[in-house]
Amino acid sequence: MAVKTLDGEEVEGLNLDLAPADVDELEAARVFFAAPCNFFYASQSLDQLPEPRGIELAFAGRSNVGKSSLVNAITGQNTLARASNTPGRTRQLNFFDLSGRLVLVDMPGYGYAQAEKKVKEDWQGLMFNYLRGRPNLARVALLMDGRIEVKDSDLAVMKLLDKAAVTFQIVMTKADGLKPGALARKTEELTALARKHAAGFPTILVTSARTGMGIPEARAAFAALAPAISQG
């Protein structure tokens, strides 16, 4: 069966169970993320973390995977999260408050080989310690570029999240860069990978911030966190 993207392209072979199909659910999620969302804090060390002010959804992934672009796409604010011009330069956790409903956390990219070793160790240490010790962290959106292979650093983060019992959901980014057959195969590969991990959410999200593909479904998946957690 074909899935039609927002730009009208039909993609054959994708499992429709990967994304919610309920129109009302998608519209509710659109409204949820249309609320004002503002940057309120940046942290470069664990002792600088803000006091918890709500449920947190963190965006993690390798450098240049498209974290800032995804945050901007789901909130509809093109300049909310700013990507560094140089991969590996972002070294802090950036916190955004979605009208008191959800806190979005844009994390430093990991795995960038050209960063200085000491700098890389410092910011990756911050990231890993945040993931292990943040009690109000509901889920990690673990972004992976659909055009490239899964890296050892991705596997290491998944292992860490398993150990910390922090649920993560794989989000394929830049899916518009794949032809339909390759996209279907990559979707199957990442779904199988997620299901091998105790902390892995069993379905993945397939997105393109450039075309809007999968963005409504990502909003629905993330908006569901707030009521689900708040109701206990």
pLDDT band at 48 (very low <50, low <70, confident <90, very high): confident
Q: Is residue 118 part of a domain?
A: yes
Q: Is residue 14 part of a domain?
A: no
Q: Is residue 46 part of a domain?
A: yes
What pLDDT is stored for residue 127 in this prediction? 73
Q: Is residue 7 part of a domain?
A: no
pLDDT band at 67 (very low <50, low <70, confident <90, very high): very high
Written as one letter, the residue type at 66 is G
How many domains, in total, are found in the chain?
Answer: 1
| Distance from C-alpha of 34 to C-alpha of 156, rounded to nearest angstrom | 34
What pLDDT is stored for residue 144 in this prediction? 98
Q: Is beta strand 168-173 parallel, antiparallel or unpaired with respect to 102-106?
A: unpaired
- What's the domain range around 114? 20-230
Considering only CA atoms, which of 104, 97, 98 is closest in space to residue 40?
97
Q: Is residue 9 part of a domain?
A: no
pLDDT at 109 over 70: yes
What pLDDT is stored for residue 106 in this prediction? 92
What pLDDT is stored for residue 112 in this prediction? 60
pLDDT digits over 77-96, tens only? 987 876 554 444 457 889 99
What pLDDT is stored for residue 194 in this prediction? 98
Sequence-separated (6 or more) residues with CB below 8 Å from residue 231: none
Higher pLDDT, 4 or 186: 186
pLDDT at 65 over 80: yes
Q: How far is C-alpha 213 from the chain's CA centre?
A: 15
pLDDT digits over 188-211, tens only? 999 999 999 999 999 999 999 999
pLDDT digits over 175-184, tens only? 999 999 999 9
Domain of 130, CATH number, reads 3.40.50.300
pLDDT digits over 145-172, tens only? 999 999 998 999 999 899 889 999 999 9
Q: Is residue 219 part of a domain?
A: yes
Q: Is residue 27 part of a domain?
A: yes
Q: Is residue 123 part of a domain?
A: yes
